[in-house]
Amino acid sequence: MANLGGVSEAFARGHSQLTALCELAMNIGSQGGVKTRLCGLIQASCHLRSLHLQTPPLRSESSVGRPRVLVNCVGQGRFLTVGPLSRPLLAAFATIAVMIKCFNSIKIVIIRDMTTTAPSTPAVQLLEVSPEYAGQRIDNFLLARLKGVPKTLIYRILRKGEVRVNKGRIKPEYKLQAGDIVRVPPVRVPERDEPVPLAQGLLQRLEASIVFEDKALIVINKPAGIAVHGGSGLNYGVIEAFRQLRPDCKELELVHRLDRDTSGLLMIAKKRSMLRHLHTALRGDGVDKRYMALVRGNWAASIKQVRASLGKSNLRSGERMVEVDEEEGKESVTVFKVLRRFGDFATMIEAKPITGRTHQIRVHTLHAGHCIAGDTKYGDDDFSKEIRDLGGKRLFLHAYMLTVPLPDGGELKLQAPVDEMWAKTVERLSAPL
């Protein structure tokens, strides 16, 4: 018991907790008698935060594949690697890990293989939410941390209650609080040394689309046809591309979203503080976003606002649709203004969404009797075909104007031009018959 006493004294004096714990394991591994040293082990373990056991395949006998142990004690702020170790000493560390876990003295115990070929074994994670992430939705929190995990899987583990906050079940819209403890279940992520490099043509196109950039924010004029993020069969989107374009910006996140086929102004935060600031502004009335849309027919001047609650539904094919649902839908409001008329055939309108529901402008224009040209989900095939015949092979919805408040009290006002296809189609539409 003398050695264990020395270990406890080392902890009490604030000496190297890592070294003391390793000496304890060496002592147990070389002399045995684990049961008689239980009291001292509990005293030592109360200072331990996590113990990671990394073991090579049993067939490996080389020093490269010998077991190593990663230990992290409270207050150390780093991991210490101990090893390579013999099998008896590895067994001692394994004993410590199991016993400490039984006494609930640490947050995480992970046992895995240390090898360059075998994938690591997924393990439960317990993550403490720092103040800078307070107010973020749990689904977005998980999406940012479980890189490569399909969005459908993240929502499945939320729905099944495998993700817990402070030991309780939560919904995807739950907003985190500083100090929350998030339990993340084992999720197997494909091993990737580096993200798949994207085509230089795409990267150059997105680099050229930047209309504003400073140390905290990027705003681009997103081309139609490019998704804002990967998922649903897509390996990449705007955010994945900019993480390759700006590798030194470790906190890049989308501030909001645009549909894949919608073009126009899209904000990307380079700092967490800017992301929080803009999310707060978006929840209020601080952000002014305006869209242009080419719609079927002669839009009546009397239609200045559409207020119709929207709800989501799934078709038999699995496709998600949004429809007006006054009983169970969410309140949705869009303000409209006529910009230009093309006789009774079409109208160019401005749409200002007051709320931010999925497909809101597309469904509200349809509800008003004037669907958007090129809309394969909510549009009119005959109208869209006539526009295609004029060269308009895209969705005619474009986020052209943006006004946002800045953290220093200033204001950022931006406009984005339409692409060449849009401009030439409108030019042909305006030509006399």
Q: What is the Cα–Cα distance from 90 to 28, expressed in whole angstroms?
A: 10
Q: Is the dihedral of CA 352, 356, 359, 363 positive or negative?
A: negative
List, in sequence order, the alpha helices (H) in 70-184: 87-102, 138-145, 151-159
218 with 270: CB under 8 angstroms? yes
How many angstroms separate the CA atoms of 43 and 40, rounded? 5
Q: For residue 134, give the H/E element and its range.
A: none
pLDDT at res. 55: 42
CATH architecture, domain defined by 286-433: 2-Layer Sandwich (3.30)
Q: Hey, what are 69's tokens?
A: 């142990």
Whole-number Å distance between alpha carbons of 397 and 44: 63
Does 286-433 match 125-184 at the fold level? no
Catalytic residue selected from 113, 139, 259, 375 = 259
| Paired tokens of 185 | 């279940």
Beta-carbon-side half-sphere exposure of residue 306 (alpha carbons within 13 Å):
26
Section 83-92 average pLDDT: 54
State the average pLDDT over residues 58-68: 44
Give 3's pLDDT tier (boundaries 50, 70, 90): very low
The 10s digit of each residue's pLDDT in 237-266 is 899 999 999 988 989 999 999 999 999 999
Q: Helix 2-12 to helix 38-45 angle, to the nearest 10 degrees?
A: 20
Instruction: Determine the CATH number of domain 125-184.
Output: 3.10.290.10
Give the tokens for residue 405. 């408040």
The pLDDT value given to residue 284? 86
Indicate the SS3 state at residue 84: coil
Q: Any idea what DSSP says for residue 425?
A: H
CB 183 within 8 A of CB 165: yes
- Where does the pLDDT of residue 123 fall: very low under 50, low under 70, confident under 90, or very high at 90 and above? confident
Give the per-residue pLDDT at 395.
98
pLDDT value at residue 309 = 95
Q: In sequence order, what E strands does 243-308 have?
A: 253-254, 263-269, 288-296, 305-307
Tokens (6 digits) for 382: 């005959």
259 is catalytic: yes
Fold assignment, 200-284: Pseudouridine synthase (3.30.2350)
pTM for the predicted model, two decimal places: 0.60
Terminal Cα distance for the chain, rounded? 101
Residue positions counted in the chain: 433
Q: Is residue 10's pLDDT more than 70? A: no
d(CA 65, CA 54): 10
Amino acid type, 104: N
* Range picked from 12-21, 121-130, 233-242, 251-260 for highest mean pLDDT: 251-260
In this predicted structure, the answer to whether residue 336 has a pLDDT above a threshold of 80 is yes
Q: Indicate the domain borders of the chain.
A: 2-113, 125-184, 200-284, 286-433
CA neighbor of 418 nearest in space, from 361, 320, 339, 353: 339
Query: Per residue in 132-183, pLDDT tens?
Result: 888 899 998 998 888 778 788 888 899 889 999 999 999 999 999 999 999 9
What distance in Å separates the CA atoms of residue 249 and residue 243, rounded to the nearest whole number? 7
Cis preceding-peptide flag for 84 (omega within 30 of 0): yes
Q: Is a pLDDT exceeding 60 seen at residue 6?
A: no
Mean pLDDT over 202-219 rounds to 94
Give, for 111, the enclosing helix (H) or strand (E): strand 108-113
